């Protein structure tokens, strides 16, 4: 649709003259004086069309996954049965209990979650629950199964997580090089998620420009005219919903793309005054101690808590000679609502030397970097707030669905207006060609 047609149609929806008028003429002249804004209007429209159902599918599945932990706990009540005790079993004891009862199982991590100690496998697919009060195994559960597993495969993996419901093998194939090297492990499904995230960023930026009504008419950008016809109502509702959701769409787009394309994070940090992410931040070199015995899970936990007091939420078995321990410290916990793998401080402990530790999150970094790691990225999942506050995330996650419905409604109105104008123009031309009927 051309700029003139768009202006006339919107004027009609607001109760103005279809053919133009002084107000419509001013709008047309204003648009013509701003080619950049006009280009962003077109960009916003076509970005919305390209995203379409993909954006709705991604955000709607993400909105549902906000309550994945609560859903899992509610549907696995037996898994979380636990008994109070003054002398609960330790993490090491829970791990040994599961290993002894199930020799075919390979314990790779332990976690304090919902009152039980979970012992999981290297694929993060299956976990056993141990009652810390009695040492009894409550049973096992698949962590990503059923409908929630399918939604996680869609939202997190682009259908490339093997073993999850909905896995598509060809989407898991690596993307060939096109003159530069993709990040390791980049598949077609993950590339689609990166592109989707970048388009969401573009959609948010262009949406702000399209919505901006000017300083004097700023309040008009937040009103919904319910008595001016269907087009005016849906057009205003589309604008209001879109501008309210812009901060979340921008956050979801940036962090979603950065998960699989780290330069996106570096670009965001550069814009916000931070520094490029340190590739050595999550690196640790264990001491060479040939023949030294392993310190064990409990000793590693004590060494980590001596460095960062709090509660052990998640601990992995030694990899490359060291334990990785996630601790939920007192106060603000950006990953407090995450199931199994929570904790806002990561501490590495040498598996042969309990005095050799590294608190990853204690390393100094610019405020923009800390904000990204402690607020911006956890906000993607809603882990930094409780279940009730996550309702805000849930509602805004459904906003693209509402935007699609209101966008379709306004598009149908504009299409109908164009169709009626074509018919009227054809009728006038036919009348001019035939001339007036004889008396």
Provide the phi-psi class of 310: left if phi over 0, else alpha when psi is between -120 and 50, else beta: left
Of 27-31, 98-102, 134-138, the one with minimum mean pLDDT is 27-31
Mean pLDDT of 52-80: 89
What's residue 380's pLDDT? 92
Per-residue pLDDT, 43? 65
Arithmetic mean of pLDDT, 181-195: 87
Higher pLDDT, 415 or 49: 415
DSSP, collapsed to helix, strand or coil, labels residue 118 as strand
What's the confidence (pLDDT) of residue 241? 82
Rounded average pLDDT over 251-274: 92
| pLDDT at res. 27 | 47
Among 133-137, 178-182, 226-230, 412-416, the range with the most confident prediction by mean pLDDT is: 133-137
Confidence of residue 397 (pLDDT cuts 50, 70, 90): confident
Burial class (CB in 10 A: 0-12, 13-18, 19+), 32: exposed
Residue 62's SS3 state is helix
Structure tokens at 66: 């906000």
Q: Is the dihedral of CA 420, 426, 432, 437 positive or negative?
A: negative
Span 173-186, average pLDDT: 81
Residue 235: pLDDT above 60? Answer: yes
The arithmetic mean of pLDDT across residues 41-57, rounded, is 70
Q: Parallel, antiparallel, or unpaired: how do β-strands 116-120 and 126-130 relate?
A: antiparallel
SS (H, E, C) 241-258: HHHHHHHHHHHHHHHHHH
Residues 277/269, Cβ–Cβ less than 8 Å: yes
Sheet holding 353-359, edge to edge: 137-142, 126-130, 116-120, 109-113, 311-319, 322-328, 345-350, 353-359
pLDDT at residue 15 greater than cutoff 50 = no
pLDDT(42) > 70? no
How far apart are the C-alpha atoms of 415 and 9, rounded to whole Å? 9
310 three-class SS? coil
pLDDT of residue 439: 54
The pLDDT assigned to 30 comes to 46
Task: Provide mean pLDDT across the span 36-56.
Answer: 67
């Amino acid at each position: 649709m051309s700029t003139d047609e768009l202006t006339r149609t919107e004027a009609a929806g607001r109760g103005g003259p279809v053919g133009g008028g002084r107000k419509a003429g001013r709008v047309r002249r204003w648009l013509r004086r701003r080619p950049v804004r006009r280009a962003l209007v077109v960009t916003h429209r076509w970005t919305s069309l390209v995203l379409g159902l993909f954006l709705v599918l991604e955000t709607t599945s993400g909105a549902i996954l906000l309550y994945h932990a609560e859903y899992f706990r509610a549907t696995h009540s037996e898994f979380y049965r636990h008994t109070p005790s003054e002398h609960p079993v330790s993490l090491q004891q829970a791990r040994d209990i599961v290993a002894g009862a199930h020799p075919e199982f390979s314990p790779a991590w332990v976690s304090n979650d919902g009152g039980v100690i979970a012992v999981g496998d290297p694929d993060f697919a299956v976990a056993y629950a141990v009652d810390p009060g009695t040492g009894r195994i409550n049973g096992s559960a698949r962590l990503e199964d059923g409908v929630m597993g399918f939604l996680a495969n869609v939202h997190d993996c682009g259908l490339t997580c093997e073993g999850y419901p909905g896995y598509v093998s060809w989407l898991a194939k690596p993307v060939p090089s096109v003159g530069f090297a993709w990040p390791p492990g980049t598949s077609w499904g993950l590339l689609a998620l990166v592109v989707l995230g970048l388009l969401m960023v573009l959609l948010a930026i262009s949406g702000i420009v399209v919505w901006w009504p000017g300083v004097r008419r700023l309040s008009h950008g937040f009103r919904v005219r319910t008595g001016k016809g269907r087009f005016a109502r849906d057009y205003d509702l589309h604008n209001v919903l879109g501008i309210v959701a812009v901060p979340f769409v921008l956050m979801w787009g940036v962090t979603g793309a950065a998960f699989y394309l780290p330069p996106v994070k570096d670009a965001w940090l550069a814009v916000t005054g931070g520094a490029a992410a340190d590739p050595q931040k999550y690196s640790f070199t264990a001491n060479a101690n040939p023949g030294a015995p392993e310190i064990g899970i409990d000793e590693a936990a004590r060494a980590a808590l001596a460095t960062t007091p709090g509660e052990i939420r998640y601990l992995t078995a030694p990899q490359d000679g060291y334990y990785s321990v996630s601790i939920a410290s007192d106060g603000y916990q950006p990953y407090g609502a995450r199931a199994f793998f929570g904790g806002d401080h990561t501490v590495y402990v040498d598996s042969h030397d309990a005095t050799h530790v590294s608190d990853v999150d204690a390393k100094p970094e610019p405020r923009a970097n800390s904000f990204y790691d402690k607020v911006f990225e956890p906000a993607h999942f809603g882990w930094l707030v409780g279940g009730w506050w996550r309702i805000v995330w849930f509602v805004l996650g459904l906003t693209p669905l509402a935007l699609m419905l209101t966008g379709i409604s306004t598009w149908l109105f504009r299409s109908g207006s164009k169709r009626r104008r074509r018919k009227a123009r054809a009728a006038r031309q036919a009348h001019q060609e035939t001339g007036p009927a004889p008396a």
